[in-house]
Amino acid sequence: MREPIAGETGRTLGETVTNRVRRMLVEGELIPGQRLSEAGLSEQLGISRNTLREAFRSLAHEGLVTHHPNRGVFVTTPSMASIVDIYRLRRFIECRALAEAWPGHPGARAMRAAVADAGTHRETQDWNAVGTANMAFHAAIVELADSERLNVFFRRLAAELRLAFGLIADPEMLHEPYVAMNRRVLDTLEAGRPREASELLEHYLVQSERLVLAAYTRYEEGANIASTPGMD
Amino acid sequence: MREPIAGETGRTLGETVTNRVRRMLVEGELIPGQRLSEAGLSEQLGISRNTLREAFRSLAHEGLVTHHPNRGVFVTTPSMASIVDIYRLRRFIECRALAEAWPGHPGARAMRAAVADAGTHRETQDWNAVGTANMAFHAAIVELADSERLNVFFRRLAAELRLAFGLIADPEMLHEPYVAMNRRVLDTLEAGRPREASELLEHYLVQSERLVLAAYTRYEEGANIASTPGMD
DNA sequence: CACGCCTTTATTGTTCAACAATAAAGGAGA
DNA sequence: TCTCCTTTATTGTTGAACAATAAAGGCGTG
Task: Give the pLDDT confidence of B44-79 residue by residue, as tens digits.
Answer: 999 999 999 999 999 999 999 999 999 999 999 999
Rg (CA), chain A: 19
Mean pLDDT of B14-23: 96
Task: Give the pLDDT confidence of A4-30 residue by residue, as tens digits.
Answer: 456 678 899 999 999 999 999 988 899
What is the DSSP-derived secondary structure letter of residue B3?
Answer: P
Which residue in chain A has the smallest CA separation from B95? A92
pLDDT score of B232? 35
Query: Confidence band (pLDDT; 50, 70, 90) for A3?
Result: very low
Q: Which residues pair with B74 in a beta bridge?
A: B35, B66
Q: Taking the C1' atom of D15, which residue's CA lies nearest?
A: B48
- For B:29-58, CB contacts with A below 8 A are 50, 53-54, 57-58
Backbone angles phi, psi at A78, to 5 degrees: -60, 140
Q: Do A92 and B153 lie within an 8 Å CB cutoff?
A: no
Contact A182, A94 (CB under 8 A): no
**Tell me, in Å, how far CA of A24 is from C1' of D24?**
42
Q: Which residues pair with B75 in a beta bridge?
A: B65
Widest CA span in chain B: 57
Contacts of B134 (CB under 8 A, 6+ apart): B114, B118, B175, B178, B179, B182
Class (C level, CATH) for B13-75: mainly alpha
Parts of chain A belonging to CATH 1.10.10.10: 13-75
Contact A89, A203 (CB under 8 A): no
Q: Whose C1' is closest to the CA of A15: which nucleotide?
A: C13
Q: Which residues pair with A72 in a beta bridge?
A: A68
Parts of chain A belonging to CATH 1.20.120.530: 80-222
Q: How far apart are CA A132 and CA B26, in angstroms?
A: 37
Among A61, A63, A148, whose Cβ lies nearest the Cβ of B85? A148
Query: Confidence band (pLDDT; 50, 70, 90) for B166?
Result: confident
Contacts of B93 (CB under 8 A, 6+ apart): B142, B145, B150, B154
Fold for A80-222, please state it: Four Helix Bundle (Hemerythrin (Met), subunit A) (1.20.120)
- Top-confidence residue, B98 or B231: B98
Count H helices and E strands in chain B, helices first. Answer: 10, 3
